[in-house]
Amino acid sequence: MTLSYVYPGTFAMKRGALEHPTFAYETWGTLNAARDNAILIFTGLSPSAHAASSPDDPSTGWWEDMVGPDKPIDTTRFFVICVNSLGSCFGSTGPASINPTTNAPYRLAFPILHLEDIARGGAAVLDHLGIDVLHTVLGSSMGGMTVLAFAMLFPTRARGLVSISAAARSQPFAIAIRSLQRELIRSDPDWEQGNYPLDQGPLKGMRQARKLGMISYRSADEWAERFGRERASSTQMEPGAFGMEFEVESYLEAHALRFAGRFDPNCYLYLSRAMDLFDAADHGGTLGEAFARVRLERAMVIGVETDFLFPVEQQEELAVELARQVPDVQFHRLASLQGHDAFLVDMDRFRPLIARFFA
Amino acid sequence: MTLSYVYPGTFAMKRGALEHPTFAYETWGTLNAARDNAILIFTGLSPSAHAASSPDDPSTGWWEDMVGPDKPIDTTRFFVICVNSLGSCFGSTGPASINPTTNAPYRLAFPILHLEDIARGGAAVLDHLGIDVLHTVLGSSMGGMTVLAFAMLFPTRARGLVSISAAARSQPFAIAIRSLQRELIRSDPDWEQGNYPLDQGPLKGMRQARKLGMISYRSADEWAERFGRERASSTQMEPGAFGMEFEVESYLEAHALRFAGRFDPNCYLYLSRAMDLFDAADHGGTLGEAFARVRLERAMVIGVETDFLFPVEQQEELAVELARQVPDVQFHRLASLQGHDAFLVDMDRFRPLIARFFA
């Protein structure tokens, strides 16, 4: 069940502020008496706080294989918290939420979002729950970057850190892809400069942005194995043959259609840009200096060789810099075929690593 | 100077036919008495026949460093021909050309285009010039695939073959990127189902398709070196910070703007789909069987490690299959940073290979 914490007062952001924003989160397991068995999960761009099913909400979570009783993140031992990112649209305050001072949706009046704001939101939830120090802060993709922001803003609030398929900053290639995704949304006339009716909006732009996202989340090798040159079952001959000829084309269309109605376009734009803007080195002159204040005991960085959004070399660099400050750092370079998305699908590779870290 | 050859009669295509289409081409150097020093160049998707400058047309060609007197493709020794692909918009007949039977542009009434049709067009120009057998047929990217189509359709018309940054077929990843590019053009309302005024058309869609193209033509490493996280000089602060914040964003915008008005959108769609549809194995049950009839003496395949549109493994596979039939096959795997486009920019790596092949 998603819980809501309404922040009492003004929530300061990196640029600007929000009046009593809501933070949506879910928890699994029980906080122990020492209050030292909590794991905080930051998510990628699109998931909600519903990482796993629970008696209150039996629907499948986005990391169902990983979080639960006797699973790698074992909820019989740990108190697990997953927060819906500030700026998202699954319960936490974002551009689609009502601004209490105007009684209208924020839309583009929402302050420019940074991953540091999302990290501060997580910390606010911890304050609310009475948790000073986490066993581990963990995140994947955008969540893995948010974990770094959290560690730098609150250098003593976590003993362990896990970063999965993330990096200390985005490369221009990843920025270019996200920039074009945003352009596809913003150039859809139905975006209306951000003022679309909240139940409609730029579906075409969202569909196209999602297709580009999927192209960047997987790997060429996976698709070659999976689709080859298989033809779509319902090929229609049309002038120029521009219809769905290949199976990979109808696969993308089906997935994009499913996503487009489910995620608020303005929220997508804000979260996407926040990933571009993040640079861990902003917390120090260099990455090393930024990490210098961090008081972690252990860290694990997991990267995937076929990830071209966050290349594994960037993740290795992150592990190397962490290792200068943190006594116990593991780096795992996985040969998954599934690219950036591997942590959601290649469970046979990820499960043992996560299980061992928390054993 | 671009020459035009008007085909006398009906030109049969893989599906359909054209009435006396035009083939635009340029030549450099002189055909020798034995008529055995001709090199035919097929181009990538977007270039014209103007591969290099000449006394008649001193403007810089798209492969200026490679073709000319005493250059790697030495026009004091060879008679070099470059053909504008059938379906393109630089002199050869394509969707933007006037259909002589209706006196209106073909637009989507142009037959579905295959690279085999482009290869046949090259052969028609050779017939016209009285050339039976080429010294070498050479092509890069789409042109490299066209070269394979040429060799299979006309197994005795070339003694040498050079394929650069191409493959025997497109992988689903490349198809997905091109499919989305076409969708961006076709979903621009100004496309008007292909019936846009020929001097206007879907500029927004073309600009976006070009950005996606550029993302796929280069490599993440090159951009990381070149742009890093450099900010654009003219950043404008706007709501949500969605403007041109990073240098890579303004670079893409400038290039896309330049391309959008220069290439006919329908031609782009036809050529793009032709690349998806090509599969050398269609000329035999397997790639090996398809090559079995080819009577080449020498072949060279060049691939680039950072090319993710035509991964170097695909190009190695092509070289291996060629080597089963052709006495002398070279394969070069280049470490260029410039990805698929390296043959246009990384001249220091490409020049010596081409020069040695033609020495």
CATH number of the domain that B140 lies in? 3.40.50.1820
Do both B138 and B214 map to the same domain?
A: no
| Element housing B158 (H / E) | strand B158-164
Average pLDDT per block of 10 residues along chain A, 359 residues long? 94 97 98 98 97 96 98 98 98 97 96 98 98 98 98 97 97 97 97 94 97 93 91 73 90 93 96 97 89 94 95 96 95 96 96 97
Other C-beta atoms lying within 10 Å of the C-beta of residue A259: 17
φ/ψ bin of B119: left (φ > 0), alpha (ψ from -120 to 50), beta (otherwise) = alpha
Q: Cβ–Cβ of A311/B220 closer than 8 Å?
A: yes
B340 in reach of chain A (CB within 8 A): no
Do both A29 and A115 map to the same domain?
A: yes
A55 in reach of chain B (CB within 8 A): no
Query: What pLDDT score does B237 carry?
Result: 63
Q: What is the mean pLDDT of chain B?
A: 95
Q: CA-nearest residue of chain B to A268?
A: B240
Q: Cβ–Cβ of A204/B187 closer than 8 Å?
A: yes
SS3 category, A312: helix
**Among A95, A180, A194, beta carbon nearest to B211:** A180
Model confidence at B231: pLDDT above 70: yes
Instruction: Tell me if B240 sits within 8 A of A110, measured CB to CB.
Output: yes
Among A271, A296, A328, the domain-final residue is A271
Query: What pLDDT score does B38 carry?
Result: 98
Which residues in chain B have their CB less than 8 angstroms from residue A204's CB? 187
Q: Cβ–Cβ of B248/A172 closer than 8 Å?
A: yes
Model confidence at B261: pLDDT above 90: no
Q: CA-nearest residue of chain B to A251?
A: B176
Rg (CA), chain A: 20
Do both A126 and A262 map to the same domain?
A: no
Which residues in chain A have their CB less than 8 angstroms from residue B219's CB? 173
Instruction: Tell me if B153 sits within 8 A of B119, measured CB to CB.
Output: yes
How far does the CA of residue A87 sit from the closest CA of chain B (Å)? 11
Instruction: Tell me if B25 sits within 8 A of B84, measured CB to CB.
Output: yes
SS3 category, B83: strand
Do both A81 and A119 map to the same domain?
A: yes
How far does the CA of residue B330 sit from the closest CA of chain A (Å)? 25
Among A214, A247, A271, the domain-final residue is A271
Q: How far apart are CA A1 and CA A23, in angstroms?
A: 14
Model confidence at B235: pLDDT above 80: no
Among A271, A304, A334, the domain-final residue is A271
Question: How many contacts, defined by CB atoms under 8 Å, are there between A and B?
Answer: 150
Q: In the annotation, is A221 catalytic?
A: no
State pLDDT tens for residues B276-318: 999 999 998 888 898 998 999 999 999 999 998 999 999 999 9
| DSSP 8-state class, residue A261 | T
Query: What pLDDT score does A237 carry?
Result: 63
Q: CA-nearest residue of chain A to B267?
A: A240
What is the b/e burial string over A215-252, where b = at least 16 CB atoms within 10 angstroms of the residue's CB?
A: bbbbbbbbbbeebebeebeeeeeebbbbebbbbbbbbb
Token couple for A30: 């029980």
Do both A47 and A99 map to the same domain?
A: yes
Do both B255 and B133 map to the same domain?
A: no
Rg (CA), chain B: 20
Do both A352 and A226 map to the same domain?
A: no
Instruction: Tell me if A88 sits within 8 A of A44, measured CB to CB.
Output: no
Do both A75 and A186 map to the same domain?
A: no
Do both B227 and B197 map to the same domain?
A: yes
Do both B70 and B131 map to the same domain?
A: yes
Query: What pLDDT score does A288 carry?
Result: 87
- The catalytic site residues of B sit at 141, 307, 340
Q: CA-nearest residue of chain B to A247?
A: B172
State pLDDT tens for residues A296-311: 999 999 999 999 899 9
Q: Cβ–Cβ of A172/B224 closer than 8 Å?
A: yes
Residue A105: domain span: 3-169+279-358
Q: CA-nearest residue of chain A to B111?
A: A240
Instruction: Tell me if B281 sits within 8 A of B209, measured CB to CB.
Output: no
Token couple for A201: 């909006």
SS3 category, B279: strand
Query: What pLDDT score does A38 carry?
Result: 98
The count of structural domains within chain A is: 2
Q: How far apart are CA A256 and CA A259, in angstroms?
A: 5
| Single-letter residue type at A192 | E
Q: How far apart are CA B330 and CA B144, in angstroms?
A: 15
B224 in reach of chain A (CB within 8 A): yes
CATH number of the domain that B200 lies in? 1.10.1740.110
Do both A265 and A284 map to the same domain?
A: no
Do both A139 and A101 map to the same domain?
A: yes
Model confidence at B236: pLDDT above 70: no
- Residue B19 pLDDT class (50, 70, 90 cuts): very high
Query: What pLDDT score does A235 carry?
Result: 61
B204 in reach of chain A (CB within 8 A): yes
Query: What pLDDT score does B70 carry?
Result: 96
- The active-site residue out of A88, A340, A341, A346 is A340
Query: What pLDDT score does B153 carry?
Result: 97
SS3 category, A30: coil
Residues 233-272 in A contacting B (C-alpha not used; CB under 8 Å): 239-242, 245-249, 252, 266, 269-270
Model confidence at B239: pLDDT above 90: no
Which residues in chain B have their CB less than 8 angstroms from residue A169's CB? 229
- Residue B242 pLDDT class (50, 70, 90 cuts): confident
Q: How many residues does chain A have?
A: 359
| DSSP 8-state class, residue B189 | G
Who's near A262: CB < 8 A, 6+ residues apart?
Answer: none
